[in-house]
């Protein structure tokens, strides 16, 4: 007898667990067609309590339109089934025992099922209250059990062998996650910990992530959003402090270098170009008065002063975390080798977020040299890209940077954006990087994987100013970390 699936409803307790997908259902239908139904469909209150997938398989046309023989003899009530099997279970216990034994559900799916159970009582039918109890009804004349019908998140977690925290996370995803995200957790394709973070994104961003990102890459999307959210919250917290503190400190101290001899060393000394400071003076700087509890400092050191730079970080209360190398296009002098690089130390204190996964640049970056001791602007852009929200200060600043506080002998009084003073031949009118046409050229160029030099040529930039392209690409969010160290030679 062919039965229309609409004639039988699924019991709410059965709906806790996910249905089989199309391929799995077809496999089950094939098995039933060949071997017959091995377990009856269990009904309770006129609804299917166990056997939804068997029911779906049996009422669906099989190969060549042949239907599987199906009728009332394939069904049994929950009460009769318990008598036949000698069971003393509540409907809830029965459903959980059956599905956890039969289905290979991962931890996220079990947590999702537990969350559905924990929230089911809200608005549930009152005539089904006994079905949700964790203990069977008492025998005649015995006192009623203390367990109420409602199942807490802790109890649901224990039933499904997952932590209460995971159940709580599943409840949050069900509440704020988009439908495709919830489906991913229920189907086992999206880990719950990843879904929990993605559910905190705006709904449109969630939909875009689910539509455009492969399931295996969602973890990276979640980590990036979590890092951005943390950085923004930290920036707002620091900006609200009564006396201004900074989450980012960028310092290029005028290190005093003592040459080993008067021959060939003194004329290269930094003292001939600007006033310098001894290592002891730099270590004594009151950086702690500027730094927020959670802070990252970026400290430039020359190779001979590396030891002093590490000591300065320690003196300021920071721990060494990592460093970048600026590889120059000109070779200098040295004793053990001819030096053509400088080091940007990274020190941290508190709970400062590191760059989001996939956004980090390679550790060695090649840029042309400028004026004596002047550092490539790309490093400041990199820091802005990593920390757009945190309050920032530059020590010993040569230029005013928009959105930065500054301190130092060479720091100008104005707030002009540094991009305006570095474009082309020095004239801000050649290209400032702040209009739609130039932005579009950069966006299109990066999308076409053009060399930075080619994009710069299209904008009319001199080769030594190509760093502006990279900096603007950072701000536009189109930069490719893999190309950060790309040479600036013009390529076809």
In this structure, the answer to whether residues 76 and 215 fall within a common structural domain is yes
In this structure, the answer to whether residues 101 and 146 fall within a common structural domain is yes
Handedness of CA 10, 13, 18, 23 (dihedral sign): negative
In this structure, the answer to whether residues 384 and 421 fall within a common structural domain is no
* Helices 153-160 & 91-102 angle (0-180, nearest 10): 40
Please list, residue by residue across 424-437, b when 16 or more beta carbons sit within 10 angstroms of its beta carbon and e when fewer do.
beeebeebbbeeee
In this structure, the answer to whether residues 276 and 316 fall within a common structural domain is yes
Show the DSSP H helices in 254-355 as ranges. 279-283, 287-290, 306-316
Q: What are all long-range contacts of 198-203, with beta carbons under 8 Å and residues at least 24 apart?
A: 198/222, 198/225, 199/172, 199/173, 199/175, 200/176, 200/225, 200/229, 201/225, 203/178
Number of domains in the chain: 3
In this structure, the answer to whether residues 349 and 434 fall within a common structural domain is no
In this structure, the answer to whether residues 211 and 154 fall within a common structural domain is yes
* Cα 333 from Cα 356, distance rounded (Å): 37
Are residues 283 and 268 in contact, defined by beta-carbon separation less than 8 angstroms?
no
Beta-strand pair 392-395/404-407:
parallel
Domain end among 374, 394, 416: 416
Domain end among 227, 258, 280: 227
Q: What are all long-range contacts of 79-82, with beta carbons under 8 Å and residues at least 24 apart?
A: 81/40, 81/42
- Per-residue pLDDT of the chain in tens (492 residues, 90 and over written 9): 344 445 788 888 888 888 888 888 888 888 888 888 888 889 888 889 988 888 888 776 554 445 566 667 788 888 888 888 888 888 888 888 888 776 678 899 889 888 888 877 544 444 455 555 555 554 544 443 433 357 888 888 888 889 999 999 999 999 999 999 999 998 888 999 999 989 998 898 889 888 878 877 888 888 888 878 877 777 776 665 446 789 999 999 888 876 555 444 444 555 444 567 889 988 988 888 889 999 999 999 999 899 999 999 999 999 999 999 998 888 887 788 888 899 999 999 999 998 887 778 888 888 888 777 788 888 998 898 899 889 999 988 877 888 898 876 455 554 433 333 333 333 323 333 345 677 778 888 888 888 888 888 888 777 767 777 877 777 677 766 444 444 433 332
pTM value?
A: 0.51
Torsion angle of alpha carbons 145, 146, 150, 152, nearest 10°?
A: -120
In this structure, the answer to whether residues 374 and 290 fall within a common structural domain is yes
Provide CB contacts within 8 A for 93, sequence distance 6+: 134, 136
Q: What are phi and psi of 219, to 5 degrees?
A: -60, -40
DSSP states of 219-241 as a string?
Answer: HHHHHHHHHHHHHHHHHHHHHTS
Handedness of CA 108, 110, 111, 112 (dihedral sign): positive
CB count within 10 Å of CB 130 equals: 12
**Structure-token match 């109420």, residue found:** 148
Write the CATH number for 262.
Answer: 3.40.50.150
Domain end among 364, 385, 416: 416
Q: Is residue 141 helix, strand or coil? A: coil
Q: State which residues form the domain around 22.
A: 5-227
In this structure, the answer to whether residues 105 and 240 fall within a common structural domain is no
């Amino acid at each position: 007898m062919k039965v229309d699936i609409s004639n039988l409803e699924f019991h709410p307790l059965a709906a806790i667990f996910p249905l089989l997908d199309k391929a799995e259902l077809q496999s089950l239908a094939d098995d039933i067609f060949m071997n017959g139904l091995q377990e009856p469909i269990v009904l309770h209150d006129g609804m299917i309590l166990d056997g939804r997938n068997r029911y779906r398989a049996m009422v669906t046309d099989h190969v060549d339109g042949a239907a599987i023989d199906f009728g009332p003899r394939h069904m049994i009530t929950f009460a009769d089934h318990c008598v036949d099997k000698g069971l003393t279970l509540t409907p809830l216990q029965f459903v959980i025992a059956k599905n956890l034994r039969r289905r290979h559900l991962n931890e996220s799916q079990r947590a999702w099922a537990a969350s559905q159970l924990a929230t089911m009582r809200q608005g549930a039918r009152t005539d089904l209250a006994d079905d949700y109890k964790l203990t069977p009804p008492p025998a005649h004349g015995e006192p009623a059990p203390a367990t109420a019908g409602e199942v807490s998140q802790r109890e649901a977690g224990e039933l499904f062998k997952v932590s209460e925290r995971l159940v709580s996370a599943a409840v949050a995803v069900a509440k704020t996650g988009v439908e495709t995200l919830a489906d991913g957790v229920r189907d086992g394709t999206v880990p719950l910990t990843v879904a929990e973070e993605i559910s905190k994104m705006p709904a449109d961003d969630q939909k875009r992530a689910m539509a455009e990102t492969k399931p295996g890459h969602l973890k990276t999307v979640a980590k990036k959003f979590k890092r951005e959210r943390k950085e923004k919250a930290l920036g707002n917290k620091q900006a609200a402090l009564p006396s201004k503190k900074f989450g980012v400190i960028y310092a290029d101290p005028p290190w005093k270098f003592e040459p080993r001899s008067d021959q060939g060393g003194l004329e290269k000394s930094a003292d001939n170009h600007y006033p310098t400071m001894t290592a002891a003076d730099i270590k004594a700087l009151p950086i702690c008065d500027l730094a927020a509890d959670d802070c990252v400092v970026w400290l430039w050191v020359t190779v001979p002063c590396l030891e002093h730079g590490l000591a300065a970080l320690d003196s300021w209360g920071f721990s060494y975390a990592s460093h970048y190398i600026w590889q120059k296009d000109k070779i200098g002098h040295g004793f053990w080798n001819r030096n053509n690089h400088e080091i940007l130390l990274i020190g941290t204190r508190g709970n400062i977020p590191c760059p989001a996964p996939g956004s980090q640049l390679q550790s060695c970056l090649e840029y042309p040299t400028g004026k004596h001791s002047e550092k490539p602007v790309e490093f400041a852009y990199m820091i802005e890209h990593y920390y757009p929200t945190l309050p920032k200060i530059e020590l010993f600043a040569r230029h005013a940077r928009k959105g930065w506080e500054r301190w130092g002998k060479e720091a100008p009084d104005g707030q002009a954006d540094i991009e305006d003073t570095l474009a082309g031949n020095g004239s801000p009118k050649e290209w400032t990087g702040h209009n739609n046409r130039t932005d579009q050229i950069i966006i299109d160029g990066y999308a076409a994987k053009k060399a930075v030099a080619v994009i710069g040529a299209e904008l009319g930039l001199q080769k030594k100013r190509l760093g502006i392209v990279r900096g603007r690409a950072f701000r536009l969010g189109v930069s490719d970390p893999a190309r950060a160290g790309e040479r600036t030679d013009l390529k076809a």
